[in-house]
Amino acid sequence: MSAKEKEKFDDMAKADKTCYEREMKTYIPYKGEIKKFKDPNAPKRPPLAFFLFCCEYHPKNQRRNPGLSIGDVAKKLGEMWNNTAADDKQTYEKKAAELKEKYKKDTAAYRTKGKPDAVKKGVVKAEKSKKKKEEEDDEADDEEEEDEVDDDDE
């Protein structure tokens, strides 16, 4: 490649470099997905009927088969759940439904619990304005006292 041909590409590269540097000044790198804040005081979700079944039968199953791995125990519990009669499953499903209703009530109470705090904040703001008024009154009293002292000097 001759020097003239190379010069053409060098000029293009310089122009691209200045454009790149200008754009990089305003570039803000992507920081990834921001995790949602999860309140540790929020009520926990209720377990499903299958998990209630597992909580009951897991220790029994592990005592019968102590050499099984966690995955194998889970497979056994899944088979047991699938082979369980609908009438037996009904008890776990009822308990799961009760826990779900309790969870709904707890979450509703938890959500409304935050609202009185907002009202309290409004009260605090009102108190602050009262304090400001008192401070202003105190300042006005101080100014009047200074005026009286100045009058005595005359």
41 contacts: CB under 8 Å, gap ≥ 6:
110
SS3 (DSSP) at 30: coil
* 8-12, 34-38, 67-71, 126-130: least confident range: 126-130
Q: How far is CA 19 from the centre of its chain?
A: 40
Q: Is residue 142 a contact partner of residue 85, using CB atoms and an 8 Å limit?
A: no
- What domains, with CATH codes, occur in the chain? 42-111 (1.10.30.10)
pTM (2 d.p.): 0.51
pLDDT in tens, 76-124: 999 999 999 999 999 999 999 999 999 999 999 999 987 654 444 444 4
